[in-house]
Structure 1
Amino acid sequence: MKICVFGAGAVGGILAGRLLKSGTNISIIARGAHLAAIQEKGLTVRDRDGDWVVPATATDDTSSIGVQDLLIIGLKAHTVTAALNQMKPLIGPKTTVMHIVNGIPWWFFHGLDGKQPANHLECVDPGGRILTSFGPEKALGCVVHIASNVPEPGIVEHNAGGTFFIGEPDNSESERLSIIVDALGESGLRMRPTNDIRSEVWGKLWANITGNPVSVLLEARFGDMFGEPAVRDLMRNIIKEAASVARAYGSKADVDIETRLDGLASLGKAKTSTLQDFEAGKSLEVDALVGSVSELARLADIETPIIDLVYALTRQKAKVAGLYSPPSS
């Protein structure tokens, strides 16, 4: 199987490094200083099992590696559209595209039962370009629970977790799902096939849609956000609104709100990825994490005033800091 990891950052880099260590032949697409470091020294993985360096086929020239059987996208949602032309040489008639992404994915409507109000979300996939470029039938859903980071170019660090939920958008138990789960399982990370991938999407979103934007608004770590009871009330109401949207699209996922909030508070001095991006001067994935739910709500005629307000405030703070631009096709 020809596998390419496009974007070997915090999550993609850990997966790529572990696959390479297992002897799996994969290619890496990266850029800038990270690419230069990998090409010069190999990919360094700092892991709970120890540190290692693996030589890697790393490039920014996708035409040099050609069509892949599996394209794993490790880019944040708001950066994919700009990379579509670069990805074209990697896509063939039988290529599977698995995007490791937070928030509502670009393939969300594909495979849902019944008539849907749209086939794409503008704030995630402006103009439906991603859907059109790949084709919905190529999509394989993936939700990851892992704590990792890129401390410096050429190095990825695995801190905790490491579970990948992988599933077909139509919830079928396909042959390709089984093959890909087995192949990626060589990494030693936990690969869990699921016949309800959207429940996993929503399950992770409860944390992303609360902690991530609020941490930026307050510029606070997890534990510090909960020092004010009103902030917990705000997060509780965000989850309630998001859960009503999830149910409107057929989700049967239950959410114990207080347990979820206790879990976030227990993370103490840890920072959300969005706050880390804000502090580092990187563009923020506000649309996929918050705006997507707001857009789904509008399409279903559901009112989400708290989510809408948090989205507007976070977006405006990012704009003022020069870390946001509106979705554009």
Structure 2
Amino acid sequence: MSDKKGKAKPTLISLSSSEEEDETEEEDGDDDDYEDKSFSSSSGDETEEEEEEEEEEENDSDDNDRTENDDSLCNGVITLLKEGGDLESLSLKQLKAYLRNHGLRITGTKAVCQQRILEHWRIKDGRAEALYPRSSFFINCTGDVCKGDVVLFTQKVYKKFNKMTRRGKLLGKRTIAGRVVKESYGKAKQQHTFTVEVLWSKGSKKLPPLFPLLVKGRNLYNLKTYRRHWSDEAERKHVLAEKHKRGNAARLVKAMKRTRKWSTDVGMLESEMVKVQNAKSIHINQDHRKKEKLLNQTGERLITHEEKPLFQGVQVWVTITKCLLQLEK
């Protein structure tokens, strides 16, 4: 589940390589998850945007690397939890050792880490569904998810993603209940990404409790998504409004990038057209000079291409006139 540093690499929902948030409808399976041999496997179609998200997750803390005594520190935390002790007596280093050993997020303050450990300890033995029953997810929030929402959705799971066929072997479906703990916009394409801490999952390739699952915003919006009621819905409206502001800013950045690219392309096209026009003018001038030179040499006026039809018409009338004169004689 965890990598060589002991931290689980967030699973990524598969995306089309040319995705843009306001593009046409994605191919089937774009909102699905592609699994390899472990939970840490990512989609076979991982984009630059997803790589940025992983780097951001990895750089969120200075204490990301495992230490040699992580196991002993983690065991100390487990012993304290079994005895019902208070986590306040532990250092942040001890708390992060526990989180790393279980492949959980290690970002946040000491209080946040304590809360994450307590919740993991509470739901790690399969008790999450009793605490967060399916029936409690009754508000349809498809296309309107924000940080702090506890959501429920179902996704298809594939074994491996083939870049050539853009498909993978279907393993089944997985239902996920989780809390949206983070949302961000990547630097490269300004794509919206949610980090969902899994509370419980059912179906193919079940994920462990509090596993950090990365889900692209456009993909989550394409799934039928339900959420639990907030204790303060007015606060959610405020959070949602802030998210919409960030979304508008991200779309503006994307539009500006497209405009700059379009301007560059148009400029290059105009430059090429000028080159072609100049080459054509040079060719016409050269042809005109050749005709003038030939005229000076022969002393006779040459018939231009434009005058040729008129000249031919005069010749025809002269011929007709000669014939009429002969007939009169």
Fold shared, TM-score > 0.5 on shorter chain: no
Q: Taking structure 2 as the reference length, what is the TM-score of the superposition?
A: 0.24
- Name which one, 1 or 2, has greater alpha-carbon Rg: 2
Q: Taking structure 1 as the reference length, what is the TM-score of the superposition?
A: 0.24
